[in-house]
């Protein structure tokens, strides 16, 4: 007679917990693109740029303001706050494990971390710089950055291209393997509780892993329609359909309500949920996703089991020393 634990373990070791889904551990490093190999100097520079509010028009907002690596990689706000107290219409995705995304942003408009890093700096609501020429000019006035860019890219290398490559190199270090789930997939049968194992099996049984698959639980494809099934009760509460997703950028009717499939890694730390940050708890998010994506009414017990499993996807954050930013002694930065 198999117990739930021994059955699930046997299925994982065989390659899947069900006949249609394979369970994979998160890799312990991220391959870098050929045109941006990772170096310690790039990572150090990228960490400084990521945490420097001087990349914003007001000198008050950095990448870390909305994607806080001391928390779950975002800001736990429904909508992130940029320069002059402005807020956008979407919830900040986590930066943790973003290197495993096939595309970046909720609408998938950036194909790489390098491309993504360029966007918020000149977004008028987020960091508010008029253009990257102004950013580069500002960085060139800071002596410490001249030295850091030289170490990472060579002399006279301060540019949009090198800055975004450095930020991306740093972001590729922000991964969280070694969760309880990863230990379980690696062969430790005691790493998950019985309830977490039930949740793991239930996710495969229901079809959650049709979208949230792979080691980062962010799917085999790029985009997915949300919501799949209309529901006036949930729409009246959460207003999911007000955001047209990819169509906001493409202006194509066929792209309406397409969104990037978000990672489930560390999801217990990233409330509130959904693209508009309208769902306050993980329990509610699971129930809503069951109904809107799978057209299933989940019981309290099923929700609790799935939430327990999702908590097992929280991995330890790598130790980070916060950078000392290069100063501008005796003068204002701008």
**Structure confidence at residue 192 (pLDDT):** 98
Burial classification of residue 287, based on how many CB atoms lie within 10 Å of its CB (0-12 exposed, 13-18 middle, 19 or more buried): buried
pLDDT digits (tens, 9 = 90+) for 179-203: 999 999 999 999 999 999 999 999 9
Domain 4-28+176-311 shares a fold with domain 40-171: yes
Low-confidence ranges of the chain (pLDDT < 70): 1-21, 334
pLDDT digits (tens, 9 = 90+) for 46-85: 999 999 999 999 999 999 999 999 999 999 999 999 999 9
* Average pLDDT value for the chain: 93
pTM score, whole prediction: 0.92
Q: Collapsing DSSP states into helix, strand and coil, what is residue 287?
A: helix
As annotated, the active-site residues are 126
**Structure confidence at residue 9 (pLDDT):** 43
Tell me which fold the domain 40-171 belongs to.
Cytochrome Bc1 Complex; Chain D, domain 2 (1.10.760)
Residue 87: alpha-carbon gap to chain centroid? 19
Measure the CA–CA gap between 169 and 178, rounded to whole angstroms.
21
Residue extents of the structural domains in the chain: 4-28+176-311, 40-171
Go through 87-124 and write b for each residue having 16 or more CB atoms within 10 A of its CB, e for each that does not. ebebbbbbbbbbbbbbbbbbbbbbebbbebbbebbbee
Choose the CATH number for 4-28+176-311 among 3.40.50.300, 3.40.1410.10, 3.10.20.310, 1.10.760.10.
1.10.760.10
């Amino acid at each position: 007679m198999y117990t739930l634990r021994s059955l699930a373990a046997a299925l994982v070791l065989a390659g899947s917990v069900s006949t249609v889904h394979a369970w994979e551990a998160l890799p312990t490093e991220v391959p870098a693109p050929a045109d941006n190999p990772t170096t310690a100097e790039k990572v150090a520079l990228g960490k400084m740029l990521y945490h420097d509010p001087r990349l914003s028009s007001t000198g008050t907002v950095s990448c870390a303001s909305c994607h806080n690596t001391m928390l779950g990689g975002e800001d736990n706000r429904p909508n992130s706050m940029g320069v002059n107290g402005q807020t956008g219409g979407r919830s900040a995705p986590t930066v943790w494990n973003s290197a495993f995304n096939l595309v970046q942003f909720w609408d998938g408009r950036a194909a790489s971390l390098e491309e993504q890093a360029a966007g918020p700096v000149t977004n008028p609501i987020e960091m508010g710089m008029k253009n990257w020429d102004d950013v580069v000019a500002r960085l060139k006035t800071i002596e410490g950055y001249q030295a850091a860019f030289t170490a990472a890219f060579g002399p006279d290398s301060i540019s949009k291209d090198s800055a975004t490559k450095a930020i991306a190199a740093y972001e590729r270090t922000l991964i969280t393997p070694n969760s309880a789930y990863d230990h379980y997939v690696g062969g430790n049968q005691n790493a998950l509780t019985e309830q977490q194992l039930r949740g793991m099996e239930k996710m495969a049984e229901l079809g959650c892993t049709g979208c949230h698959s792979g080691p980062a639980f962010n799917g085999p494809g790029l985009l997915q329609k949300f919501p799949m099934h209309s529901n006036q009760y949930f729409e009246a509460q959460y207003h999911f359909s007000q955001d047209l997703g990819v169509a906001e950028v493409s202006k194509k009717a066929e792209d309406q309500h397409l969104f990037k499939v978000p990672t489930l890694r560390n999801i217990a730390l990233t409330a509130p949920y959904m693209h508009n940050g309208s769902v306050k708890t993980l329990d509610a998010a699971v129930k809503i996703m069951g109904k809107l994506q799978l057209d299933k009414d989940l019981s309290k017990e099923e929700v609790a089991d799935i939430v327990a499993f999702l908590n097992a996807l929280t991995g330890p954050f790598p130790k980070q020393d916060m950078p000392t930013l290069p100063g501008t002694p005796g003068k204002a930065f701008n």
